[in-house]
Amino acid sequence: MGIKLNAISLFVGDLKKMVEFYRDIIGIEVEWDGNGPHVEFKHEGVRFMMYERKELKGYLGTEVSYPDGLNGTFELAIDLPKFADVDKEFERVLKLGLKPIFPPRDEPWGMRTFYITDPDGNLIEIGSWGKGEQNS
């Protein structure tokens, strides 16, 4: 039997702020009434969930620590069809007031990418492998 990833969960400081960011800025659908320490976004493929950090210590029964500032231990990656889509998305997030880690650039491994962070400092890579590019 092979391994199949089921879900990715973020343990977050302010659940409401994070839900608003991923729903309104990133564009992931969610049905959430604003109550409870847990939310699951609507996403095809791997399940994407969030839990309030303040609940985790009690659940695990042990102390838990979290990174402060830019979290270099984790990344969420969003794949867009075309290189030009990366530049369009960059302009969109700039207009929304986000500050990128770096602007779109072509990487030596064949990807065009830029990074932003969510309100908890988690890295989000927005990039493309150019699989939707038209061959001329």
pLDDT at position 134 = 64
pLDDT along the chain (136 residues), means of 10: 88 95 94 91 90 92 91 93 97 95 97 97 96 65
CB 9 within 8 A of CB 18: no
pLDDT at position 110 = 95
- List the CATH code of the domain at 7-60: 3.10.180.10
Q: How far out from the chain centre does Cα 98 lie?
A: 14
Task: Say what the alpha-carbon torsion angle 100, 106, 111, 116 is, to the nearest 10 degrees.
Answer: 0
pLDDT at position 136 = 39
Checking DSSP bridges between strand 47-52 and strand 7-12, what pairing results, if any? parallel
pLDDT at position 16 = 95
Give the length of the chain: 136
Checking DSSP bridges between strand 38-42 and strand 47-52, what pairing results, if any? antiparallel
Structure token digits, residue 109: 């491994």
CATH 3.10.180.10 positions along the chain are: 7-60, 71-128
- List the CATH code of the domain at 71-128: 3.10.180.10
Question: What's the CA angle centered on 79, arms 75 and 85, to 5 degrees?
Answer: 125
pLDDT at position 46 = 87
